[in-house]
Amino acid sequence: MFVDRDGTIIDETGYLSDPDRARLLPNAAQALRMLNDLGVPVIVISNQSGIARGMYAARDVEKVNSRIRDLLQAEGAFLDQMYYCPHHPDYDVECDCRKPQPGLLIKGAREFGILLDKSFMIGDKLIDIQAGKAAGTQAIFLRTGDGEKELERAREEIVVTADRICEDLLEAVQWILGCMNITV
């Protein structure tokens, strides 16, 4: 399972570099715990262009990610891996790891033995859905974070591209498990 970070697991605050500002979204830990309990690898895929823009350093992203892991652990959940793209084409280089490119999903699939056509990408932005589709996963769009703004901006493309639109991560995970006839 691949999930976006900001706006999907934690509050969307824009260019988050202060770990003390990281706040779990309601139901996020519960959703991740459900996947953890089933042995489903959970991998975060995140764009962190603040690094390329000179707004913060990679060590700041690592500190925020560590804080997120601590917050989840306190609620009995965990992430198997957290990948991020530090690039932005206007400030840095073109790459295959910046969503909507599928590079980090492909990397995660290789490292964890995930079959992409049997997996999902979940996020609150169109680029999350596009990255998932480019990698060959199913894609679920969330209304959390920037989701409502994205729906106003790109409703038609989201409706056509996403396999499902859900209120939050918990609803997405429940829908996925329902499709697999798994009850928890």
* Domain extents in the chain: 2-179
pLDDT digits (tens, 9 = 90+) for 149-158: 999 999 999 9
Residues 24-48 have a mean pLDDT of 97
| CATH code linked to domain 2-179 | 3.40.50.1000
pLDDT digits (tens, 9 = 90+) for 75-96: 999 999 999 999 998 888 889 9
pLDDT the model gives residue 10: 98
Q: Is 6 a catalytic residue?
A: yes
Per-residue confidence band for 13, with pLDDT thresholds at 50, 70 and 90: very high
Is the pLDDT at 29 greater than 80? The verdict is yes
Residues 44-67 have a mean pLDDT of 97
Per-residue confidence band for 167, with pLDDT thresholds at 50, 70 and 90: very high
Question: How would you class 156 by CB atoms within 10 Å of its CB: exposed for 0-12, middle for 13-18, buried for 19 or more?
Answer: exposed
Q: Is 37 a catalytic residue?
A: no
Task: With residue 157 as reference, give the H or E element that holds it.
Answer: helix 147-161
Comparing CA positions, the residue from 179, 167, 180, 175 lying closest to residue 25 is 167
Catalytic residue (one of 6, 128, 146, 168)? 6
pLDDT the model gives residue 91: 87
Integer Cα distance of 95 and 107 in angstroms = 13
Looking up tokens 């490119």, which residue turns up?
101
pLDDT the model gives residue 47: 98
Task: Please enumerate in sequence order all residues whose Cβ is within 8 A of that of 99, keeping only pairs 6 or more positions apart, or say none.
Answer: 45, 47, 85, 125, 127, 128, 130, 131
